[in-house]
Chains A and B, each alone.
Chain A
Amino acid sequence: MIDYSKSRVLIVDDSQAMCSSLRITLSNFGITRSESSNSAGEAIFRIRHREFDMIVCDYNLGDSTDGQQLLEYVRREHLIQPSVVFLMVTAERSYEKVVLCAEMAPDDYLLKPFTAETMRVRLEKVFDKKAVFSTIYAHLAESRLAEAVEECDRLLQAQSRYSVDLFRMKGELLLDLGREEEAQQLYESLLSSRAIPWARLGLAKAMRNSGNLDLAAEQLQVVIEEMPEYLAAYDVLAKVHEENGHPELAQESLANALRMSPGNLVRQSALGQVAFRNGDLETATRAFSSVVDKGRYSFSRSHNDFVNLSRVQMENGEFAKALQSLNDARSAFGTAPVVELATSTMETLIHHAANNAAASTAALDKAIAARAEAGIDLAGQTAIDLAKGCFVNGRVDEGRQLVRDMVSNYYDDTMVKRSVRQMLDAVGRGDESKALIEDSVADVIKLNNDGVLLARQGNLAGAIDLLLEAARRMPQNVQLGLNAAQALIVESDRTGWNEEHMREAQRLLGRHAAAHGDLPKFKKIKGYLKDVGLKFGVKVT
């Protein structure tokens, strides 16, 4: 029998009575450290403030949300470690289908009514599985994805009884690592004996990532035909269509998924954004209104929901409504710099559209001040809006700089480029877009080269200044991040351990580990970091 005496459990159920039944049952297994929440919002609050070993969650949590959305939220936002057990409890047999079609599955689920014996046996199995996976989780916590894959292989070779889970985990890791060919092989071999929906979705993702958009779309159509309830497939299909130059099909795919499950606010917001890019303001308005409306009691709501709605209202010429949406955002989310930045940026554009030049300039000043205060991590659409605000207020150089940063930051993102082009068209600078986008890519290359050259000339401090500042402005750009990290490590190697700089180097590597940990250059710099750590007797993870 497993010793649960140190385990801390969170029970989430909208029924107080069920919470207490579960609490009694768990305490009979020796789990005495338990807390309960009656709503998803309260559960999120507790999860943010305390570490739990297990979450037992009811699928049905009242009107605004369900346990599956809670699970996906806490896993996606990394609010819980992968080692934390998530057990779903539900009275709906149809939940089996939800699990089968979900991008993220709980560790197990129990159909009500169930006995204490059943729960005890299930818990033992789940904790056993977590123990088998513990090395993989430890690698994941340190972003060592390639090592995690090796551990999957080792367990598979040892004929682990969890081979299906291991294959699924390995496939996802290979996709994260950019090893599409291996991922494709793995999924194809799984599919040869059974039509497993997640394997077909994985296959489509591998095809998408290696640029075979037509093949990916074909696979996704098969998934949807085999299992129309598999909503995650519609999301990926929408992305594939948009990358493939069929934005209207992308919109249709999301709309189809939403017809089946209108409650998913993340998807609703994605529909709004595609529709907005497609110039379908009616659909965009409906989608964003619904997000704001239904999201009122949702844990996943954000100020961006209001800003998105405001943007469409502005495009519709409803300036008063658009400003009201921003006020709603401020009263719901306070005046944190990120909120201030996003709302003031939008305000600039609304006042400009309403021919209120003075107010537009004032709002732009506020936005730029908030940006300075908030740091520079700009969310995609806000950056484009801010650039637009600069252009319409005659601050052309700042606008151009924002566009350059944006493009260099997301140089492989077709949707960003499309939005940038549309914005430049709107401010009458369509003729600049080709040059701006191409120049930006050239700029990054030059920046990189300048930094490397400075370092080679012995001006290490100059190189670090240049590269660090560039890496901060373009946090997604892997070449800049790696070069900056390297310059920082060289400095410590030559002039002695600089704690602050070395922590910065580790942070930079950490940021790119998931997507680029397999690059030879990444591995080399990581090894260099360890060597320098050894040299000065500092433990580096």
Chain B
Amino acid sequence: MNPARENEIGLKDVLAANLHETKNLMGQLMLRLDAMGTSEPPVREARFLCQQISDRMVQMLLLFELQDEQLKSQPEAHNPADFLLELRENARAWAGAQLVIESRDEGAPDYWYFDRALTEMALMNALHNAFRHARQRIELVTGMRGDCLYFSVRDDGAGFPDSVLHVAGGHSLPISRDGTGLGLYFARMIAAVHTNQGRSGSLELRNNESGSGAEFTLLLPK
């Protein structure tokens, strides 16, 4: 290698090193806040804020990967019910006594191949939405529909506005300032990169038949 080039540090390397350190610091902050316990609402709120900042950071990183066309899923065998339980435990810690958060296994298999980090990100966005809109209750559900595994986040709030539901199948989404649309955009991306033997995952948004509550469903192919 050319010695002059070797000593040259590119912008990309600086960014990467910086992000790496940010994640480390964020990781420490998160664990320190968690160690303070959940009983005090201000601490709980701080923990939730910390999680939201972390999610935004991960989203930015995914944007870089998308830009470089490097976003690929790394599916490994995971237990869907365990995965959901982990999400539930985290959600309960953030919600405290304000919301009831349940998880339910409607017949998911013992394992399924999916990218845990990406799937968690998609569901985390759905969960943030549910936190904003739920009245009392959020349900996390996993099960099988046809050949696909699904993860759903259901709340008892006002439901998705028509504008979101109507573009659900299309590519263009209204991205509002609070980031609602952005989360759905990512979730759709994440569904799409879960492929096996020519089939890929999908995202489904609908409102509860009883008239209240939104249901976000991520479908992942076998």
Contact = CB atoms under 8 A, between A and B. Distances in A.
B27 A18 contact: yes
B114 to A, nearest CB: 11
Nearest to B81: A161
A194 B113 contact: yes
Contacts of A354: none
A461 B26 CA distance: 70
Interface stretch (B84-92, B136-144, B165-173): B84-92
A457 interface: no
B23 interface: yes
Contacts of B30: 113-116
A51 to B, nearest CB: 26
A97 interface: yes
A163 interface: yes
A112 B24 contact: yes
28 contacts: A18-B27, A21-B32, A21-B35, A28-B35, A91-B20, A91-B23, A92-B20, A93-B117, A96-B74, A96-B115, A99-B76, A112-B23, A112-B26, A113-B26, A113-B30, A115-B30, A115-B47, A116-B35, A117-B89, A118-B86, A121-B82, A125-B82, A159-B110, A161-B111, A162-B110, A164-B77, A164-B111, A194-B113
A33 B115 CA distance: 33
- In the A-B complex, the 9 residue pairs with the smallest Cβ-Cβ separation, listed nearest first, are A116-B34, A112-B27, A113-B27, A91-B23, A161-B110, A96-B74, A113-B26, A164-B77, A21-B31
B28 interface: yes
Given A112-B26, A113-B30, 15 more contacts: A17-B28, A18-B27, A21-B27, A21-B31, A24-B31, A28-B35, A91-B24, A100-B76, A112-B27, A115-B47, A118-B90, A121-B85, A121-B86, A160-B110, A194-B113
Interface string B1-28: 0000000000000000000100110111
A278 interface: no
Contacts of A161: 79, 110-111
Nearest to B76: A100
B93 interface: yes
Nearest to B37: A28
Interface of A: 15, 17-18, 21-22, 24-25, 28, 60, 91-93, 96-97, 99-100, 111-118, 120-122, 125, 159-164, 193-194
B60 interface: no
Per DSSP, are chain A's interface residues mostly helix, strand or loop, or mixed?
Answer: helix
Given A118-B86, A163-B110, A18 B76 contact: no
Nearest to A165: B77
B61 interface: yes
Contacts of A160: 110
Interface size class of B (residues with CB under 8 A): 35 or more
Contacts of A113: 23, 26-27, 29-30, 50, 54
Given A99-B76, A100-B74, A161-B111, A21 B28 contact: yes
Contact of B74 (A97, A121, A164): A97
B30 to A, nearest CB: 5
Given A91-B23, A93-B61, A113-B26, A25 B89 contact: no
Interface in B41-84: 47, 50-51, 54, 61, 74, 76-77, 79, 82
A137 to B, nearest CB: 20
Contacts of A163: 110-111
A194 B195 CA distance: 11
A411 B222 CA distance: 47
A24 B28 CA distance: 11
B196 interface: yes
Contacts of A194: 113, 196-197
Contacts of B117: 93, 96, 111
Contacts of B110: 159-163
Contacts of B77: 164
Contacts of A117: 34, 86, 89-90, 93
A176 to B, nearest CB: 22
Nearest to A128: B82
A28 B38 CA distance: 13
A22 B31 contact: yes
B115 A115 contact: no
Nearest to B109: A161
Given A28-B35, A96-B76, A115 B24 contact: no
A99 B117 CA distance: 13
Contacts of A17: 28
Nearest to A15: B24
A113 to B, nearest CB: 4
A122 B86 contact: yes
B34 A25 contact: yes
Nearest to B34: A116
B1 to A, nearest CB: 11
A122 B120 CA distance: 14
A161 B20 CA distance: 35
A96 B116 CA distance: 9
A325 B68 CA distance: 46
A194 B29 CA distance: 39
Which of A60, A121, A122 neighbours the largest number of chain B CB atoms within 10 Å of its CB? A121
